Structures are given as structure tokens and as C-alpha cells.
Amino acid sequence: MNKYKEKFEFLEKDGRKKCRKCKQLKTIDEFLNNKYKDDVKHNHCRECQHGPYKEKEELEEGHRRCTKCGEIKKLEEFGSNKRGKFGKRSNCIECDKQFRGDNKDRILEKQRVYYWENKEAVNDRNNSNYKNNKEKISEQGKKRRSENPEKQK
């Protein structure tokens, strides 16, 4: 064993290593490999590095736990996200509404800043969307005006 490994790995003569976090002597197998250095292990043991192993929770089919409120809810109560598990967001719709209500001013300010920084691209995107969906947009406007005559001038 070379001096570099002895100095930086804190190896004992019997092949054990001392974890820098929990200060316990453990076998080399209890340390993860360091991907940046060949033949060198991490300074923290697996347990200190990743915490105690958490067993996966078994939920009924079609249900999921909201990461914000922690409640188990039906998948229909989560918004869509094609990259998310089951094609749904991790937060339920209620928590998203709560967040948007609590942070309304911050969100509006971010939208304003984005618009002014990307004004041409936003306008081009809106114009092309209008050209591609002109009939659908005019139908939606007619429907909205007929349903809300009191809002008309």
C-alpha cells in the first residue's frame, strides 16, 4: 500500500478504515468507491453518506403521495407532467394552488422580467400560435362572449 492511500484513506493495518463522520472503524466494503480517483474510497461510510436505508412505501394502484403536504391522493388530484412518475407532478393540485396564491407577486414579477428579456421571441411565438389556431381562438372568443354578456361593452 503506498503512502498516498495510507495518508488520505486512514487505513488501519488490519484493512479497516475510519469513517470521518461517525468516527467508527469499518471494513473497506462499507465505503463507496470514489469515481474521481482509481482505487480510492470515500471518506464517509455508506450509512453516513446516504443515511439509513428507507424502504419504499407500497401504495394502492392509482395513488401517490404529495411531496408538499404528505397526503396520499388519487392520481387525478395531481397535475400532468410528461416527465414525472405516472405522467403526473409530484405536488397535488391543491398544494400548487396554495403555492401560486402565496407567491403571486413573485411569479408575476418573474413573468414580467422574462417577457421584457425575451420580448421578440414571445411575440413571435404568440403570433405563430394565433395564425395556426385562428379558427379555434375565434370560436373560444365567441363562446366566452355569449356566456358572459354582462362583461361586454
What is the full per-residue pLDDT of the chain (153 aa) written as tens digits? 454 544 444 566 677 888 888 888 888 888 888 878 777 788 888 888 777 666 777 888 899 999 999 999 999 999 999 998 889 999 999 999 999 999 999 999 999 999 999 999 999 999 999 999 999 999 999 999 999 888 876
Distance in angstroms (rounded) separating the CA atoms of residues 16 and 4: 16
Distance in angstroms (rounded) separating the CA atoms of residues 116 and 122: 9
- What is the set of domains in the chain, with CATH numbers? 3-50 (3.30.60), 63-92 (no CATH), 104-144 (no CATH)
HSE on the CB side for 67, CA within 13 Å? 6
pLDDT at position 13 is 65
| Phi (first) and psi of residue 129, to 5 degrees | -65, -40
CB 63 within 8 A of CB 73: yes
Give the residue among 48, 10, 21, 13 at the shortest CA–CA distance from 32. 48
pLDDT at position 45 is 85
pTM tops 0.75:
no
pLDDT at position 52 is 64
- Cell output for 6: 495510507
* Long-range CB contacts for residues 39-46, cutoff 8 Å, separation at least 24: 39/5, 40/5, 40/8, 40/9, 41/9, 41/17, 43/10, 43/19, 44/19, 44/20, 45/19, 45/21
pLDDT at position 36 is 80
- Cell output for 69: 403536504
